[in-house]
Amino acid sequence: MIQTIIFDSYGTLFDVNVLSNKLNNYFPGDGEAINKTWRDKQLDYAFIREITGTYCPFSKVVRDSLHYAVNKHGYELQPYQEIELLQAYLTLPVYPEVKSVLTQLNQKSCAILSNGSHDMLDPLIINTGLYPFFTRIISTDEIRHYKPNPLCYHYASLALASPKTETLYVSANEFGIAGANSYGFYTAWINRDKNPLDRLDSLPTAVYQDLNGILEWS
């Protein structure tokens, strides 16, 4: 029986797509494209640093990838734009169903496991009012690794004293699901965009269009 539910953060609880609007204010017509490049490059940088053993906190990854994304689309990032865009990461909105779902999961131990470093993750969770729903906020920065390295899930399992067989990992990011699968957690992929499954050797335990689906584990 599932006793612990571990949530990913960005793209799972928090909507990063809204940053397109802010980017569009600075770079008219290119906000959506820049935001996609920004997010894609965050993942690239995190994966490269994990593989090469050149770890840095995710807040630096986010900043570096922002500069790359803006430059790629033909612009120069001004200091005030950098400040405001990075600040926006601390006030991302939650998806519409998040608070209702977390309220209904009050009989479970809920936690967050994020690649985000505490300097950006903790203010976001406090600003959105989600802090009371979670027993623990875990950043992979605590062990200087990035998901999908199985060490991250092992660390969460130990920190929460939650055996694999009693733990569900929830994420909208398939790379995170792949890592949790390899460690041995039950997994729920939140497929908001109705994408095909990645061609990997393991499949999520369950697939849902939004977080309401995980209520069947309650």
Kindly list the catalytic residues.
8
Helix (H), strand (E) at residue 21: helix 19-26
Residue 107's contacts (CB-CB under 8 Å, 6 or more residues apart) are 218
How many Cα atoms occupy the beta-carbon half-sphere of 129 within 13 Å? 8
Cα–Cα distance, 2 to 155 (Å, whole number): 18
CA angle 18, 21, 22 (to 5 degrees): 100
Q: What is the 3-state secondary structure (H, E, C) of 31-82?
A: HHHHHHHHHHHHHHHHHHHHHHCCCCCHHHHHHHHHHHHHHHCCCCCCHHHH
Residue type for position 33: A
Tokens of 73: 């689309």
Bridge partner list, 190? 208
Q: Are strands 167-171 and 4-7 parallel, antiparallel or unpaired?
A: parallel
CB 188 within 8 A of CB 180: no
